[in-house]
Amino acid sequence: MAEFENFLSPGRRGHLIGIGGVSMSSLAEVLQGMGLSISGSDMNEGVNVDALRLKGIPVLIGHHAENITEDVEFVVRTAAVHDDNPEIRAAHERGIPVFERTQAWGAISKDYANALCICGTHGKTTTTSMCTHIMMAADKDPTVMIGGTLPLLKAGHRVGHGNTIIMEACEYYNSFLSFHPTVAVILNVEADHLDFFKDLDDVKHSFHEFALRVPEDGYVVANLDDANTMDVIRDIRGRVITFGLNREADVTARNIEFLGANSHFEILYKGRLFTDVTLHVPGLHNVKNALAATAACISLGVRPNAVKYGLAGFNGAGRRFEFKGKYNGADVYDDYAHHPGELKVLLDAVEQLNYKRIVLVFQPHTYSRTAALFDDFVQQLRRPDVLFLAEIFAAREKNTIGISSANLAKEVEGSIFCQTFDVIEDALRAIAHPGDIVLTVGAGDVYKIGERLVEEKK
């Protein structure tokens, strides 16, 4: 089969199926920025589709064989698009090569002297965003691919002209094994995506393979606080920079002060003061994300002031403790947390903010994750003062397990299971008061609840 890099030259013609997704729309713009002629299709209209059309990239709604026109030279698809898709069938019938999204990003990364790839069970989007802020402050003009929206970029991507690409690298379906990192950041390793991985050891094996992709003159940036991460890199022969709150880490923090949603701390590198930082996102987990970003950027020769001012300008990424507005005097925030570990660090951070009540609206993501991590979810969902449970967001799955959010509700005393968003919104209208924080949490479409309530008050 042809290699994707053979098509990375101006004038080549490609078609992207599922082009409206975060990563696919970013890929379309990056390819267009490299001089390729790009079109695409998606099942739905949306903000990303509108943005692509404004940039001159035609997008068709619906998947049809005739969308693969005579001049198409290659096709790129998302993981959700299978071989029975009419556009995929048309491409195969005509001998047009079909590539996975991650193959395309991996080929693009080969063109950069510095490919900074951030992976981990949690914190990828935030840390990738922090790295972007630092590298922009350092005037490195990076190309960027993030799995969320970064206000600095007004998008989830950036087409730069420097020699650095910054990429969020996801382990699901071993997607990150298509990348070619010169700097690989491993934030943490936990059991997740158990509809694909067999168990934690299988997850660790894939992260180990990812670390092995770093060349000898590259760097692996690893979380010294996380035993699984250190196990993953135990026999890595290349250069390793560790980060963490453990004082033995190469990059660590001291004198951490929390001031409301902000924090201030000093960053040490090899035992010496590197810089001090004021961070405008809450929680100890974000201090650790900042240490990871700092360690990664140190490996690329970034100076202390770029770290200091880059992190000072970071106010969060889209759907990562994102402030939506106020409703009945309550603060409304949204967060993408969909794993018990993510719920824990989110609630740890929020509990430090001294709200009178934490009102959590949680929408579990996928049946397999809910079943596999059920007890861990229950443990975290017992923490908020008020808990509303929306039905599980199916995403890519069918409910062959027979599980429901109602099962979680039975194990969490006082929780309220609601089959529709309308019921949750009515309940929030009745109970939200000044001094409350209302959190809509999950990787599905639960964010719409908070957005609709805030919009009512405008």
Same domain, 248 and 143: yes
Q: Has residue 91 been placed in a domain?
A: yes
Q: Whole-angstrom Cα distance, residue 31 to residue 55?
A: 12
Same domain, 287 and 250: yes
Same domain, 232 and 285: yes
- pLDDT band of 118, cuts 50, 70, 90: very high
> Contact, 40 vs 52, CB < 8 A?
yes
User: For the segment 271-299, what is each residue's pLDDT rounded down to a tens digit?
Assistant: 999 999 999 999 999 999 999 999 999 99
Strands 239-243 and 219-223: parallel
Asked whether the predicted pLDDT for residue 234 surpasses 70, the reply is: yes
Same domain, 192 and 291: yes
Q: Has residue 413 been placed in a domain?
A: yes
- Asked if 168 is an active-site residue, the reply is yes
Which letter does DSSP use for residue 420 in this model?
S
> Span 111-118, mean pLDDT?
96
Q: Whole-angstrom Cα distance, residue 88 to residue 80?
A: 12
CB count in 10 Å sphere of residue 87: 25
Asked whether the predicted pLDDT for residue 1 surpasses 60, the reply is: no
Looking at 290, 312, 334, which one is the last position of a domain? 312
**What is the residue whose two structure tokens read 């991590």?**
373
Residue 379, Cβ density class (10 Å: 0-12 exposed, 13-18 middle, ≥19 buried): middle
Same domain, 84 and 40: yes
- pLDDT band of 47, cuts 50, 70, 90: confident
Q: Has residue 161 been placed in a domain?
A: yes
Q: Virtual CA dihedral for 363, 365, 367, 373, nearest 10 degrees?
A: -90
> Span 28-53, mean pLDDT?
92
Q: Has residue 317 been placed in a domain?
A: no
User: For the segment 299-318, what is each residue's pLDDT rounded down to a tens digit?
Assistant: 999 999 999 999 999 999 88
In CATH, what number is assigned to the domain containing residue 290?
Answer: 3.40.1190.10
Q: Has residue 400 been placed in a domain?
A: yes
Q: Has residue 401 been placed in a domain?
A: yes
Say what the pLDDT of residue 399 is. Answer: 96
- Asked if 125 is an active-site residue, the reply is yes
78, 124, 164, 190: which is the annotated catalytic residue?
A: 124
In CATH, what number is assigned to the domain containing residue 52?
Answer: 3.40.50.720
Looking at 69, 101, 133, which one is the last position of a domain? 101
Asked whether the predicted pLDDT for residue 117 surpasses 70, the reply is: yes
> Span 41-66, mean pLDDT?
94
Asked whether the predicted pLDDT for residue 457 surpasses 90, the reply is: no
Q: Has residue 140 been placed in a domain?
A: yes
Say what the pLDDT of residue 65 is. Answer: 97
Looking at 259, 284, 312, which one is the last position of a domain? 312
Same domain, 361 and 301: no
- pLDDT band of 238, cuts 50, 70, 90: confident
Nearest Cα neighbor of 388 from 365, 420, 366, 341 is 420
Number of domains present in the structure of the chain: 3
> Span 131-138, mean pLDDT?
98
Same domain, 180 and 32: no
168, 190, 322, 342: which is the annotated catalytic residue?
A: 168
In CATH, what number is assigned to the domain containing residue 371?
Answer: 3.90.190.20
Q: What angle do CA 22, 390, 61 make, to 5 degrees?
A: 35
**What is the residue whose two structure tokens read 């993953």?**
232
Q: Has residue 179 been placed in a domain?
A: yes
Task: Report the predicted TM-score, pTM, of the whole model to 2 decimal places.
Answer: 0.88
Q: Whole-angstrom Cα distance, residue 217 to residue 163?
A: 16
Tell which wins on pLDDT, 2 or 232.
232
Same domain, 94 and 121: no
- pLDDT band of 237, cuts 50, 70, 90: confident
> Contact, 219 vs 294, CB < 8 A?
no
**What is the residue whose two structure tokens read 């002209």?**
161
78, 121, 125, 132: which is the annotated catalytic residue?
A: 125
CB count in 10 Å sphere of residue 45: 12
Say what the pLDDT of residue 278 is. Answer: 97
Q: Whole-angstrom Cα distance, residue 425 to residue 418?
A: 10
Strands 183-186 and 114-119: parallel
Same domain, 136 and 57: no
Same domain, 90 and 121: no
Asked whether the predicted pLDDT for residue 458 surpasses 80, the reply is: no
Same domain, 328 and 220: no
User: For the segment 135-190, what is each residue's pLDDT rounded down to a tens digit?
Assistant: 999 999 999 999 888 999 988 888 899 999 999 999 988 989 999 999 999 999 99
User: For the segment 2-22, what is each residue's pLDDT rounded down to a tens digit?
Assistant: 799 999 999 999 999 999 988
Say what the pLDDT of residue 363 is. Answer: 98
User: For the segment 314-338, what is each residue's pLDDT rounded down to a tens digit?
Assistant: 999 888 999 999 999 999 999 999 9
Same domain, 303 and 187: yes
Strands 164-168 and 239-243: unpaired
Say what the pLDDT of residue 26 is. Answer: 87
Domain that holds residue 372: 322-456
